[in-house]
Amino acid sequence: MAICLSFWAGFFTLSNAQQSEVGIVWEVPGDTYSAQIELGAFKTLGVTHIEIPYPVSEEIKPLLRDSSFSFLIRSPQKFLTVSGLQQQRSSLRTTITELGREYSSYANVSGIGVVTHSQTDHPDFLPSVNSILSTAVQEIDTPFYFVQNQNWYWLSSPENPFAVYFDDSEYQRSDLKDFSDFMSENGQDKIQIINSNWLLEATNDFPEIETALKEFTASGNWMLPHPNTKETTLLKANWMVLIFIFLWASLTLQIRFLPYVRSVIIRYFFAHRFFVDDILGYRERAVAGGILQMITHAIFGGLVFFMASHLLFSDLGIEAIFHYFPWLSLTVQNYYSFFVFGFGITLVFQLLALIWLHLPAKNLTHFSQTLNLYSGIFYIDYIIVTIMLTLFTAGAGHLFTLGFAVAFLLIWYLSFYITAFDIAQNNRDNKALYLLLTVVLYSLIIVTLLVVVLLFTDVISVFKLAAYL
């Protein structure tokens, strides 16, 4: 088997050294006629390698056997963490063994993809894959490969990729410059892989691509004239900026028409003791400002979650997160789901915190007292999120920008403790019991949840994988 792997790896290395090669990730049509038409188009364009997801329909298999293309068959195993790999040992071994046996008689199947976009940066991952597939390696002559981000690697030599992928599946004419740079920069030592639908749409829109591909496969030189397009500048409103302007306008109107809001802001941060005394003495009774600030804080939470997800995860990382936690995609599986999730989780936890803080407080007679004490600190959101949004839209350093997301979350977390101690301030008879039922119990629950997540779930590994992709 080792000799066979060396032969296949040598074949691709020799082939790439002699000429540049183009491959596609084929989004296989549902009917045989369309598949035949597309295969003919690929041949005309000079495509030599085609990757197909497993399993392949029975109608398409005869087209593969009779074709002159070199086929790569990729298994559905993707987004595996180290612990997830161990849990799916049997499934992975069975899938790859069945795949290898199914295509053992296909002379033009030149590779079997074992895993995709997984935690291959972990030192134990690839050795574990080799161990799991040790039996399959002995009976399957076709070499194994894995896909990581935009690169294809042989499992037997994971240091250098044998293929690189142009990561775009929805064609727009503006993509052509990036595509031309991709073809020019990757040289002749790797197979250049393109999404099939993107390539077909691009050649229909800009036929010069066909000539450029033929020249590339023949000589290794990439020459594509840039299309003459009249660029139009459209004023695109950033939806986050619009929301932010609305929130600032809302605060301005509150200060204008609810005069006590100004005094709440000033006294909470600069005369906190007197502010707490007024609330506990029920001398400050207004609730509209507190309710509006709770809603505003939830919207700010959505914005922070959205920006943080953009800074931490690529589109592929987002896909990995939704693969493990599909319930996060309350709307659609993209970054906007994080805004909706952030808004929802912030609002729900605020309401739970208010109820938790108010019920044991025997010294409070009105729920508005707890509301005003708890919501006051959230006026600082305007400063924190303003700075974060400015840095985010300006493309500032990720760590610096994320620091303000951490500050937002930290203040949100500490607001529970601050409010609990404020309420306990004049609760002399039941102060110890109140703090036990709030501060101590809250801390125990948070610590317990952290221990459970860190030690008994795969959450951290999933987010490490998503950040790596």
DSSP conformation class of 103: T
Instruction: Report the distance separating Cα 69 and Cα 165, nearest Å.
Output: 18
Q: What is the mean pLDDT of the chain?
A: 88
Instruction: Report the distance separating Cα 309 and Cα 367, nearest Å.
Output: 35
Contact 192, 183 (CB under 8 A): yes
Adjacent-strand bridge partners of 73? 52, 112
Total-model pTM: 0.85
The mean pLDDT value for 174-189 works out to 83
Instruction: Using the predicted structure, report yes or no on whether residue 5 has a pLDDT greater than 50.
Output: no
Residue-wise pLDDT for 234-289, tens only, equals 444 488 989 999 999 999 999 999 888 999 999 999 999 999 998 888 877 788 89
Locate the domains of the chain by residue range: 2-219, 239-468
Instruction: Report the distance separating Cα 76 and Cα 182, nearest Å.
Output: 27
42 C-beta neighbours (distance < 10 Å), count: 22
Give the dihedral sign, CA 49/72/79/155. Answer: negative
* Distance between start and end Cα atoms, the chain: 31
**Residue located via tokens 């064609």:** 171
Alpha-helical segments (H) within 169-259: 175-185, 196-205, 208-219, 239-257
Instruction: Report the distance separating Cα 351 and Cα 301, nearest Å.
Output: 14
CA of 337: how far to CAs of 309, 340, 395, in Å? 10, 5, 22
pLDDT of residue 294: 95
CB within 8 Å of 100: residues ≥ 6 apart: 112, 136, 139, 140, 142
Of 3.30.450, 3.20.20, 3.90.220, 1.20.120, which CATH number belongs to 2-219? 3.20.20
The mean pLDDT value for 2-6 works out to 38
The mean pLDDT value for 410-427 works out to 93
What is the DSSP pairing of strand 109-116 with strand 144-148? Answer: parallel
pLDDT of residue 285: 73
DSSP letter string over 217-241? HHHS----PPP--------PPPHHH
How many Å is the Cα radius of gyration of the chain?
A: 29
Instruction: Record the tokens describing residue 315, joined without a space.
Output: 């589109």
pLDDT of residue 30: 84
Percent of all residues in the chain with a pLDDT value above 90, rounded to a whole number = 61
Instruction: Report the distance separating Cα 124 and Cα 135, nearest Å.
Output: 19
Q: Which residues of 285-323 are buried (b: 16+ CB within 10 A; e: fewer)?
A: eeeebbebbbbbbbbbbbbbbbbbbebbbeebbbbbbbe
Instruction: Report the distance separating Cα 217 and Cα 46, nearest Å.
Output: 7
Among candidate residues 79, 147, 128, the one with its CA nearest the CA of residue 465: 79
Residue-wise pLDDT for 15-71, tens only, equals 333 468 999 999 999 889 999 999 999 999 999 999 999 988 888 888 888 888 999
The mean pLDDT value for 302-314 works out to 95
Contact 145, 155 (CB under 8 A): yes
Q: How distant is the alpha carbon of residue 196 from its chain centre? A: 24
Among candidate residues 131, 141, 139, 199, the one with its CA nearest the CA of residue 165: 199
Residue-wise pLDDT for 421-453, tens only, equals 999 988 777 899 999 999 999 999 999 999 999
pLDDT of residue 188: 66
Choose the weakest-confidence range: 106-120, 338-352, 418-432.
418-432
Instruction: Using the predicted structure, report yes or no on whether residue 233 has a pLDDT greater than 70.
Output: no
Chain length of the chain: 469
Instruction: Record the tokens describing residue 129, joined without a space.
Output: 């894959």
Instruction: Report the distance separating Cα 319 and Cα 323, nearest Å.
Output: 6
